[in-house]
Amino acid sequence: MLNPRKGIIGKKIIYLREVSSTNDYAKSIASETPEGTVVVAERQTRGRGRRDREWASPEGGLWMSVILKPRTRTADIPKIVFIGALAVVDALSEFGIEAGIKWPNDVWANGKKICGILTEGRLGEFVILGIGLNVNNEIPPGLEETATSMKLLLGREVSLDGVLQALLKNLDRWYGLFLKGRMDAILSAVKERCFVLGRNVKITDGKMEMVGMAVDIEGEGALVLETPGGRIRVFYGDVSLRFE
């Protein structure tokens, strides 16, 4: 078990053996707990992805949620998902794993998904930054083709506490820049680590479909697509991105 950290993120850490979803637990305590409180569970029985999709969360993975209470412009809130993605990519690189951001909310390594991020919140009150990282856990049946873990990539188990420690440190650093309004630094780091740029992609929201080359990520976090009809900005939301 970790000692509490000095920065904002992880001053208080709540460890749970099992929970439905750390995001749900974090939401239920958010109003009476300080900013930066982290909820970690050994396993989740109802881990969630976007659109209420199932997030497999067996023992051995890092399933956690951070409670944030940013007093920033509402327009900046969607960028909190980038704080999570940047911190995960940087933490993985400390373990020798080269990973990249799949806009908007995944981290991939070696062509497969290693981490998913789910942000939820109540406007003006709190944001929950939920991070699911495959560390030593088995890849759930059916996901072998699309998912990977630190253990698979490194060929050995790693200390879950060590990974949590590295992640909290990097979260603290990126969130510090976010609070200082350094959106320029955040955005350029995201662009550097986002392997979607320069590739042909298809974006869908279930109803509409857009195909084009991803060329930029703009101020508000929107992905810019170059299409035959001109440039289109796609906002972070419940959209899916596939490579063409």
**How many CB atoms are located within 10 Å of the residue 166 CB?**
20
Which strand ranges, in their side-by-side order, compose the sheet holding 223-227? 230-234, 223-227, 209-217, 200-204, 240-243
Round the CA-based radius of gyration of the chain to a whole number and report it: 17
Contact 95, 150 (CB under 8 A): yes
Give the interface segment with ligand ATP, choosing from 44-52, 80-88, 122-130, 208-216 (CB under 6 A).
44-52
Q: Is 224 helix (H, G, I), strand (E, B) or coil?
A: strand
Among 10, 21, 81, 151, which residue sits at the site for ligand BTN (rule: CB under 6 A)? 21
Among 5, 24, 26, 55, which residue sits at the site for ligand ATP (rule: CB under 6 A)? 55
| Shortest distance, position 213 Cβ to ligand ATP, whole Å | 17
Beta-sheet pairing, 13-19 with 38-44: parallel
| Shortest distance, position 105 Cβ to ligand BTN, whole Å | 6
Q: Tell which positions 103-162 bind ligand BTN, by CB under 6 A.
A: 105-106, 116-118, 130-132
Which of ligand BTN, ligand ATP, none does residue 65 bind to, with CB < 5 to 8 Å depending on kind? ligand BTN
Q: Tell which positions 92-131 bind ligand ATP, by CB under 6 A.
A: 105-106, 113, 116
Told to check if 47 binds ligand BTN by CB under 6 A, we report yes
Which of ligand BTN, ligand ATP, none does residue 22 bind to, with CB < 5 to 8 Å depending on kind? ligand BTN
Measured from the CB atom, is 31 or 240 closer to ligand ATP?
Answer: 240
Q: Which long-range contacts (CB under 8 A, 24 or more apart) does 225-234 make?
A: 225/201, 234/203, 234/210
The residue number whose beta carbon is nearest to ligand BTN equals 116
Determine the Cα–Cα distance for residues 194 and 123; give it in Å rounded to an integer. 27
In which element (H, E) is residue 86 found?
helix 80-94
Per-residue tokens: 146: 């699309």
Told to check if 49 binds ligand BTN by CB under 6 A, we report yes
Binding residues for ligand BTN, per CB under 6 A?
Answer: 21-23, 44, 47-50, 55, 57, 63-65, 105-106, 116-118, 130-132
